[in-house]
Amino acid sequence: MRTTAVLAAPLVLGHVSSGLIGFVDSALAGHHGTDTLAGVSVGNALYWLPMMVPMGVLMSLPPFVSELDGAGRREEVPALFRQALWLAAGLGIALFLVLSVWRYLLGPMGIDPQVIPHAVAFVEGIRWGIPAFTFYLCMRYLSDGLHWTLPTMVLGFGGLLVLVPLGYAMAFGVGGLPEMGASGLGFASAIMLWAQAICFALYLWKSKRFADLALFSRFEAPNKAILTNLLKTGLPIGGMVAMEGGLFIATSLLMGRLGATPAAAHQIAINVSSLCFMIPMGIAEATTVRVGHALGQTNTGKLRRAVVAGYTLLLITQTTSALLLIAGNQWVAGIYTNDMVVATMASQLLILAAVFQLPDGVQVISAGALRGLKDTRVPMLLAAFAYWGIGMPVGAGLGLAAGYGPAGMWVGLIAGLTVAALCLSWRAMRTIRKLEMQALG
């Protein structure tokens, strides 16, 4: 537990800083106006919906890196990293093109016409930061895979130092800048993403910790074999991440059909939930690295201890998060908005967010362990069943068809996460037992 906690702590703080970026955007948008907040809510959904795939694909890098490191083959890491950069470049360009056409789809999606201009303005600003974000993920996952997670935390909070003043100035019009609202928040986020990517590249280039790898010392053309191996593991991870993230994002988009007030309240609740999720996500990534390292050493005892440590830490953190959400739901909602109707609705949704803290944590730790084992195809299918076979039908049925509104849609989220937690934890423990039996002969 101590080893996992030490490795996970900077990752957790780095993820919290990323979540706080969403908090900054939401808080600034909420104080700018309810329509702006609703637009940023839908815009964030449009941004993250396609972004789930490249994030998941690039998540294949840490288990490969940690396994090479654990097997004493560190000298093979630089070539792998440079191929991952090619992958990041291709994914970044593809995602930029996808976001460039979103504006034409909002009307057919049934989004409230009052929300559409603000959502489009936010997306058209933040899309310029997408290539920077995919490069940043590639560099971050390399560092994480080598058990050095501090840069994730430092650069995460460094990004906040850029976004807070810049986002305020560009949204409200300060220091001679025009008042740009949602558009200003989008462009400020893009500038921050480029600043983070450039700083990470400079760190990897100059740091003594990575000097032996000479990561940027040479240029290599795309290698089909390495890229195919990364994609073979990464695409199912991307699909799995997209299944879960897509459930939340599709829910946000469906909230847009209910009007500005439900969309704004949902944005507050989902942003707070996302902040809570950063803790188990960091623990899950630490678990992936530890499992990959143990796999490289062919040490099944160490592998099982790494997974059990992740689950134990999860129980502590998620119970705490649930209790805090129940106790402080009204106070938290009031931070985001002065609109009492929006705040009241958001505080009710935060109670439901408390309910899914434990299943959300269990499923992400299980997924992290399976990534470390490079077991990704079956978990993707299990996730598809849980999120889209259970979660979305239940949420859409209760929220839209049955008329329960936002609360009904959040019950769908709880149902999907609970089924995912049961399926993925079963798969993780079954895979570990299989490896242990193989080790015994």
Residue extents of the structural domains in the chain: 2-436
Predicted local distance difference test score (pLDDT) of residue 390: 93
Predicted local distance difference test score (pLDDT) of residue 238: 81
Within 10 Å of residue 221's Cβ, how many Cβ atoms? 8
Nearest to 244 by CA among 55, 403, 431, 407: 55
Q: What is the pTM of this model?
A: 0.77
Q: What angle, rounded to 10 degrees, do the helices at 182-206 and 34-58 form?
A: 30
Residues of the chain with pLDDT under 70: 19, 108-110, 441
Predicted local distance difference test score (pLDDT) of residue 86: 94
Q: How far apart are CA 1 and CA 306, in angstroms?
A: 8
Within 10 Å of residue 202's Cβ, how many Cβ atoms? 10
Are 96 and 18 spatial neighbours (Cβ–Cβ below 8 Å)? Answer: no
Are 395 and 413 spatial neighbours (Cβ–Cβ below 8 Å)? Answer: yes
C-alpha 36, offset from chain centre: 23
Predicted local distance difference test score (pLDDT) of residue 148: 85
